[in-house]
Amino acid sequence: MTDSPRSPSSSGGADNDSENRRPAHDEPHTAGVSSRLNWLRAGVLGANDGIVSVAGLVVGVAALSPDRGPILTAGVAGLVAGAVSMALGEYVSVSTQRDTERALLEKERRELEQTPGAELDELTSMYQARGLSEETAHKVAEELTAHDAFAAHVDIELGIDPDELTNPISAALSSAISFTVGALLPLIAILAPPTGARIPVTFVAVLLALALTGAVSARLGGANPRRAVVRVVLGGALAMIITYAVGQLLGVAGV
Ligand SMILES: [Zn+2]
């Protein structure tokens, strides 16, 4: 590894940023809490996707046509297509990850059966690498091995909790549901108001909703909420402006 260009001495007075990145004391310590947080974060991101993509669709169609029919059709089609595509993507990625984790767990189980001595040494050296003396590390490794060798190895070597493997079907369902919840917002915002107010109402409703999802996901991830909100709101506004412009252009072109 090469030297970091931002060594401590060269960073001068700019300590504010590293202050923000220091791990918070209230960070989750158990696998249960962190996996629940991951679920929540995935749900918020799914809702975010639903809001932005369907908002872009319906604003684009509304820019071209004042009729409710085409707007409703485009919005519902976008909602269904997006939910299905999110579910499929999630299913495939979680299944692959679970296969990988299962293979690693199986390999560890085999190694523990076939070469218990080498595995004890390995555990010892891992605790030494974490700062324990050889004597203490050996004692810790022996006690953990006597208690539950498999759990000890899986925890320190792989960082996997065998009881917490994500279920691909529930991951797929929850991302489809969160996308749908998000997608309903621009759909309602564009269909409920009278024709002239449709696009402005949708714009405002979508940007407010994105500010909320941005703040929530930043909070869940322990990041700076203001920066997250600015990013997601600008991104959403850009998406709607682009599709609005595309709708206008297609209208001018007489499509
Ligand atoms: Zn091992």
Ligand 1 mean position, distance from CA 113 (Å): 10
5 alpha carbon – ligand 1 mean position (Å): 36
Residue 148 C-alpha to ligand 1 middle, in angstroms?
Answer: 12
| Residue pLDDT, tens place only, 173-206 | 999 999 999 999 999 999 999 999 999 999 999 9
Cα-based distances in Å from 238 to 55, 70, 242, 255: 11, 22, 6, 23
Q: How close is the Cα of 122 to the center of ligand 1, in Å?
A: 6
Q: Which of 203, 230, 220 has the alpha carbon at shortest distance from 52?
A: 203
CA of 145 to the centre of ligand 1 (A): 10
User: If you measure from the C-alpha of residue 168 to the centroid of ligand 1, how many angstroms do you get, rounded to a whole number?
Assistant: 27
Instruction: Give the end-to-end CA distance of the chain in Å, rounded to a whole number.
Output: 57
Q: Quick: pLDDT tens for 205-251.
A: 999 999 999 999 888 888 889 999 999 999 999 999 999 999 999 98
**Are 243 and 206 contacting, i.e. CB atoms less than 8 angstroms apart?**
no
Cα 154 to ligand 1 centre (Å): 7
Structure tokens at 54: 């369907």
User: How is 61-84 classified by DSSP, letter by letter?
Assistant: HHHH---HHHHHHHHHHHHHHHHH
Distance CA 76, CA 206 (A): 17
Asked if 58 and 50 touch (Cβ cutoff 8 Å), the reply is no
Q: How far is the CA of 147 from the centre of ligand 1 (A)?
A: 15
d(CA 194, CA 137): 71
User: What's the rounded Cα separation, in Å, for the pair 240 and 220?
Assistant: 26
pLDDT digits (tens, 9 = 90+) for 49-94: 999 999 999 999 999 988 999 999 999 999 999 999 999 999 999 9
**How far, in Å, is the centroid of ligand 1 from the Cα of 94?**
24
- DSSP track, 207-254: HHHHHHHHHHHHHHHT--HHHHHHHHHHHHHHHHHHHHHHHHHHHHTT
What does the pLDDT average to over 28-49?
A: 75
pLDDT for the residue numbered 33: 66
Beta-carbon neighbours within 5 Å of ion ligand 1:
119, 153
Q: How far is the CA of 252 from the centre of ligand 1 (A)?
A: 66
